[in-house]
Amino acid sequence: MRFLIKFSYDGSAYAGFQTQRGLNTIQEQLENAASIVNNHQKTVIVATGRTDKGVHALCQYAHVDINVKITEKKLKRALNSNLPDDIHVIETKQVADDFHARYNVKEKEYTYKINMGEYNPLERNYVFQYNYKLDINNMKEAIKYFLGEHDFRAFVTDNKEKENCIRTITKATISEQDEIITIKFTGNGFLRYQVRNMVGILIKVGENKISPETVEKILESKDRTKAGKTAPAEGLYLSKVKY
């Protein structure tokens, strides 16, 4: 029986989502928990996508095949009782045997948080602590250039020469509350470090170091060296997934 699992995690303590030998990863924790439920057989978790070291998820999905008879409710409970307290299964749902958590994704949303105000120790792992005031109006101008279908090569870290970097962003918003800037991107898919690199350039715009229009030029240049710094992991959340 194939199940689709909806889950959330605090990425602070992990080397990222994907299993890496000798490192603590979210995938490994989930596979261990699923294997216990699955009569201790080796069990594979196939997620919507990876998240990098320190990145969080408010809403992430994976499919898993369970060969013992179990209800959706009991599977949720069994997984949670075998997971550490920084990973949590929100929901489980039986799906068709050919359902695929990665291939069937229609849309994803990522959220990025920047704190321009005083450092708050309770949020130290959950926002990028920036400390200074950013020009949010210029950032709002700049973010529009990411909308639509583009070759995002200039915003990808470590991409292979021939990798297809064409993606579509359908929604991109910036808001501010209590000195915290929240940036949201919705799209059909995102490349490695793409969101953090887009945020990096938006911060440069917010610092008035480059004009909003420069973002369009960088995008068109397809040149990674032009796009500048990658924003840190702790401010990034996978926040929505649509099938």
Instruction: Report the DSSP pairing between strands 180-187 and 166-177.
Output: antiparallel
Q: Which of residues 6-35 bind a second copy (CB under 8 A)?
A: 8-10
Active-site annotation holds for 52: yes
Q: Count residues near a second copy (CB under 8 A).
A: 17
* 85 belongs to the binding site for a second copy (CB under 8 A): yes
Q: Kindly tell me the burial class for residue 135, based on how many C-beta atoms sit within 10 Å of its own C-beta (0-12, 13-18, 19 or more).
A: middle
One of 90, 105, 136, 165 touching a second copy (CB under 8 A): 90
Q: Residue 22 or 121: which CB sits closer to a second copy?
A: 121
One of 53, 88, 217, 226 touching a second copy (CB under 8 A): 88
Residue 158, CA distances (Å) to 112, 163, 193 in order: 21, 10, 9
One of 22, 121, 177, 225 touching a second copy (CB under 8 A): 121
Which of 10, 52, 97, 98 is labelled catalytic? 52
Q: Which stretch binds a second copy (CB under 8 A): 121-129, 160-168, 174-182, 191-199?
A: 121-129
Q: Which stretch binds a second copy (CB under 8 A): 31-39, 67-75, 86-94, 152-160?
A: 86-94
Q: Which stretch binds a second copy (CB under 8 A): 43-51, 97-105, 118-126, 203-211?
A: 118-126
Match 């708050």 to its residue by tokens: 120
**72 sits in which H/E element:** helix 72-81
> Which string of b and e fits 87-126 if b means at least 16 CB within 10 Å?
bebeebeebeeebebeeebeebbbbbbbbbeeeeeeeeeb
Of the chain, the end-to-end C-alpha distance in Å amounts to: 19
Q: Residue 96 or 122: which CB sits closer to a second copy?
A: 122
One of 126, 176, 189, 217 touching a second copy (CB under 8 A): 126
**56 sits in which H/E element:** strand 56-65
Contact set with a second copy (CB under 8 A): 8-10, 56, 58, 85-88, 90, 118-122, 124, 126
Residues with a catalytic annotation lie at: 52
